[in-house]
Amino acid sequence: MDSTFFNKLCQVFRERLKKPYHAGLPGARRLWRVGQELAEGIRTKVCGGGNINGNHWVSYVVQVDSTHSHLLYGDSFGNDPPNEVAAAFHWWITAHVKLLYHRGKLAISPQTDGRSCGILSPNAVAHHVLPVSVNLVDEKDTDEARIALFVQVAKWDLESVSLICALETNSVSELLT
């Protein structure tokens, strides 16, 4: 999930007494749909990140198995989730999934500087989802990881632009023939 999911979850939780949470609540339809997909077994995981206090990225994984729902929370400073975030996830998960609820820690590399959370947070989610092919980034390697991510995004962007240009060129040439 992108960070807007995290933000929307916290917002809907804060407003739940004034605006009851349901499938038709404007702005909360995606939140409801994902919750129902967890409840129905269409999804077994929801993973993503969010920003705390406007300056720190954290990660989460919501996992549902046959008997339990779990929130795994990862903060590169080693902190537990802020009370509001913990309460929002508990409220949302239990609104949809009627199983025993547990909270745990998501494996994440420790942070010793003021800027690495932006690379460590998505890395923790990627490692959780693909533990064999994605290792946790060592804190001393965050600059290299940041550059590698930039290169991946740049390649993807170039490939996307090239594909769009090729499609447009083919469409124009088809029109001319």
For residue range 94-110, what is the model confidence (pLDDT) as tens digits? 999 999 999 999 999 99
Give residue 146's pLDDT band: very low, low, confident or very high (50, 70, 90): confident
CB 109 within 8 A of CB 76: yes
Domains of the chain (ranges, CATH numbers)? 3-137 (3.30.310.130)
Percent of the chain residues past pLDDT 90, beyond the cut: 69
Q: What is the pTM of this model?
A: 0.82
Q: 172 pLDDT exceeds 60?
A: no
Give residue 29's pLDDT band: very low, low, confident or very high (50, 70, 90): very high
C-alpha 152/C-alpha 126 separation (Å) is 14
Across residues 29-38, what is the average pLDDT?
A: 95
C-alpha 78/C-alpha 80 separation (Å) is 7
Instruction: Please report the pLDDT score of residue 167 as a whole number.
Output: 64
Average pLDDT of every residue of the chain: 89
Between the alpha carbon of residue 41 and those of residues 36, 38, 71, 102, 125, the distances in Å are 8, 5, 16, 18, 21
For residue range 36-86, what is the model confidence (pLDDT) as tens digits? 999 999 999 999 999 999 999 999 999 999 899 999 999 999 999 999 999
- What is the distance between the terminal CA atoms of the chain, rounded to a whole angstrom? 44
Instruction: Please report the pLDDT score of residue 93 as a whole number.
Output: 96
Give residue 166's pLDDT band: very low, low, confident or very high (50, 70, 90): low
Q: 153 pLDDT exceeds 70?
A: yes
C-alpha 107/C-alpha 123 separation (Å) is 10
